[in-house]
Amino acid sequence: MELIFLGTGGAQPTLERSTTCICLVKDGEILMFDAGEGAQISYLKSNLGWNKKMKIFVTHLHGDHCIGVLGFLQTMTLQNRTEPIEIYGPKGIEELIAANTKIMNFGLSFPVLITLVNEGMVVDEEKYQVRACEAEHSVPTFSFLFEEKEKPGTFYPEKANSLGVPKGELWHKLQQGEEVVIENKSIKPSEVTGPKVPGKKIGISGDTRPTKKLEEFFKNCDYLVFDSTFSDDLKEKAVESCHSTAKEAATFAKNVNVSNLILTHFSARYKDEKVLLDEAKTVHDSVIAAKDQLTVKIE
């Protein structure tokens, strides 16, 4: 898996930073979290491809998080996309897309499936799930948590051979966690594999203040991308605008045992994010500041 940051700025884009857009790439599928203005331009630079399986999760209906969805849909049509696209967002997302599509009179070359988000399970796939939690911002906002499901442990060919399992399809089934039958004898995956491997947990905060509710939601994340709009000397402004400071993000991550913290959504006042990164590093041991087109390997 990879996290690819297409936009890392706050409400106002700069020459160095586009507005918010983050892609999680897993097994050829793209899970996009937010799409601010011009997201399709940043996406084009990433070379991710226009016809892949895709889901878009919108945290809230502020322009720097959702307006890019419209341009994205139009560009994908011009690129002759045929695959359906799934969009998940708060109340109003369907109206936003339907009204603008009608007003601008552009047809789509692919189906768009829109689902309103509520707290709890949003997507439950074979290998992962995505859940939502209410965040604290100036409009209704959700944070998202991607949870990879447990993966089968290491496969031991010698154990399979000793049990008489022929190499090929049956080995593959055991590796995928399926039970097989050889001469009326059932063989369980646990007989030929090591312990199951826990899946990765990746949190995307969207715009928010740190809250107790989110502490429980993001507990023990392997990676957490968190709102870090301001430095701590502007904490009062962060509170007023329902954003977080880099130090608050780091304190939050430390308190909930996050392994790796990624700062993003930087105010345009910061020409260099180093001041925010240094602030966070005084609190948390593993912190990076996102940049546009940054790729983080999920290991």
Residues 173-208: tens digit of each pLDDT: 898 888 999 888 899 988 999 988 899 999 999 999
The confidence band for 216, taking pLDDT boundaries of 50, 70 and 90, is: very high
- Beta pairing class for 85-89 and 54-57: parallel
pTM value is 0.91
Give the pair of three-digit tokens for residue 84.
């359906």
**Distance between CA atoms of residues 20 and 37, nearest Å:** 8
Give the Cα separation of 293 and 29 in Å (integer): 18
d(Cα 235, Cα 290) in Å, to the nearest integer? 21
Res. 151: pLDDT tops 90:
no
Active site residue 64: yes
- 83-138 pLDDT, tens per residue? 999 999 999 999 999 999 889 888 899 999 999 999 999 999 999 999 999 999 99
CA distance 264 to 288: 9
pLDDT at 89: 98
Task: Please state, for a pLDDT cut of 90, what percent of the chain lies above it.
Answer: 89
Distance CA 271, CA 62 (A): 23
Sheet holding 201-204, edge to edge: 120-124, 128-134, 142-148, 201-204, 223-227, 260-264, 287-289
**Sequence spans of domains, the chain:** 2-149+199-208+216-228+253-268+290-297, 157-191
Look at residue 177 in the predicted model and tell me its pLDDT.
83
Query: Tens digit of pLDDT for each residue in 19-42?
Result: 999 999 999 999 999 999 999 999
Query: Which run of H or of E encompasses 100?
Result: helix 93-104
Element (H, E) at 115: strand 112-116
Residues 3, 90: Cα–Cα separation, whole Å: 23
Q: Which residues does 24 contact at the CB level (< 8 Å), separation at least 6?
A: 1, 2, 3, 4, 30, 31, 32, 33, 146, 202
CB atoms within 10 A of CB 206: 25
Catalytic residue among 27, 34, 64, 292: 64
Q: How high is the pLDDT of residue 197?
A: 87
What residue type is assigned to position 105 of the chain? N
Domain covering 2-149+199-208+216-228+253-268+290-297, topology: Metallo-beta-lactamase; Chain A (3.60.15)
**Farthest-apart Cα atoms in the chain, separation:** 71
Judge contact between 165 and 180, C-beta under 8 A.
Answer: yes
**What is the structure's pLDDT at 107?**
86
* Confidence label for 157 from pLDDT (cuts 50, 70 and 90): very high
Q: 10 Å Cβ neighbour count for 288? A: 17
For residue 206, what pLDDT is reported?
Answer: 98
